[in-house]
Amino acid sequence: MCGIAGLQVRDPSLEPRLGELLTGMLHQAAERGPDSAGVALYGDARLTPPGHAAVSLLSPGLPAEEIAARVGGGADAVVAGQSVVVRSLVTVAELERAVRDAFPEAIVTGRGSDLAVLKGVGHPDTLAEEFALGRASGRQGIVHTRMATESAVTPEGAHPFSVAEDLCLVHNGSFANHATIRRELRAAGVVFDSENDSEVGARFVAAQLAQGYDLEKSLRLLCERFDGFYTLLVTTGDTFAVVRDAIACKPAVIAETDAWVAMASEYRCLAGLPGIESARIFEPEPEEVYTWQR
């Protein structure tokens, strides 16, 4: 069991409330995964100021000023619990390189023009406070609560998995053939951060996107290649996508209004969203890729 919830805001007037709404969704998903949690926020100016590149990493255990100084090049850093977001007025690739040079052992958990990924071990409600999630804003965000089955309870095993620029994936379920696919991707030069099965899904999608496929096609290819159980919520800078395996045994419910689209493992996560009473609510069909763009 894991819990997934995500929200893409269409009505800009709701953007300041993104974090508040996600906090409620995360709280309702907490019982599905009390061991660790993570969030991805797109367009939160507090964490990712406009015009800056942002790289998220698991905290090396240093104060923000020291992290920024080590990265250099005018970067600054925000510490949020067990995660850190480093920002700088350079390209995303340049900043990621600088972060990796400064902290060769650190695990980079996200990178992008306005994406911040925060995750850690602990109860989701506690982590939400550490992340100051209630004060976040932005155009879309996803949250995940983990009940570990395939690998250890560690910050790097927590979701979301963000392994390419602006791409995030959260997973409920377990892939059966992840070891085979990991081996194939490793042979092709892909480097992994964990032994987690969900990371294999994220790396696979990233590899398809790198080949030029769009997110919808990449997720169709994932359905062809992966065995096992999965409900996936996958986001890029402008797309919010949901897909389930052929049996669709892992739960998923989607709600949509003119102002937002949201997906969650259970309806209770969505019950607090504004206008839910008149939302179009449905459970996604097996192996059908749903995408929303903004």
Partner 1 sequence: MATVTGPPATVTTVDLQTASVRDLNAALHTTVGGMAWHVAHPDGAHNLAVGIDADLDVVIDGHAGYYCAGMNQHATVTVNGNVGVGVAENMMSGTVRVRGNASQSAGATAHGGLLVIEGDASARCGISMKGVDIVVGGSVGHMSAFMGQAGRLVVCGDAGDALGDSLYEARIYVKGTVKSLGADCVEKPLRDEHLAELSELLKAAGIDEDPAAFRRYGSARDLYHFKVDNSSAY
Residues that are catalytic: 2
125 binds partner 1 (CB under 8 A): no
The alpha carbons of the chain give a radius of gyration, in whole angstroms, of 17
11 binds partner 1 (CB under 8 A): no
232 binds partner 1 (CB under 8 A): no
Q: Nearest approach, Cβ of 252 to partner 1 (angstroms)?
A: 9
266 binds partner 1 (CB under 8 A): yes
Nearer CB in complex with partner 1: 27/111: 27
Contacting range for partner 1; rule: CB under 8 A; set: 52-60, 103-111, 231-239, 277-285? 277-285
* Max Cα-Cα span within the chain: 51
- Pick one of 125, 267, 291, 294: the residue that binds partner 1 (CB under 8 A): 267
- Binding to partner 1 in span 30-49, by CB under 8 A: 31
The string of DSSP codes covering 11-55 is SGGGGGGHHHHHHHHHHHHGGG-BSEEEEEEES-TTTS-TT-EEE
Length of the chain: 294
263 binds partner 1 (CB under 8 A): no
- Pick one of 45, 89, 286, 293: the residue that binds partner 1 (CB under 8 A): 286
Q: Nearest approach, Cβ of 268 to partner 1 (angstroms)?
A: 2
* Helix/strand/coil percent split, the chain, to 5: 30, 30, 35
**Which residues, 6+ apart, have CB-to-CB distance to 160 below 8 Å?**
38, 39, 40, 110, 117, 119, 142, 144, 168, 169, 170
The answer to whether 108 and 55 are in contact (CB under 8 A) is yes
Nearer CB in complex with partner 1: 5/71: 5
65 binds partner 1 (CB under 8 A): no
Nearer CB in complex with partner 1: 161/229: 229
257 binds partner 1 (CB under 8 A): no
Per-position b or e across 217-256, b if 16+ CB within 10 A of its CB: ebbbbbbeebebbbbbbbbbbebbbbbbbeebebbbbbbb
Which residues here bind partner 1, judged by CB under 8 A?
Answer: 28, 31, 248-249, 251, 253, 266-269, 271, 281-283, 285-286
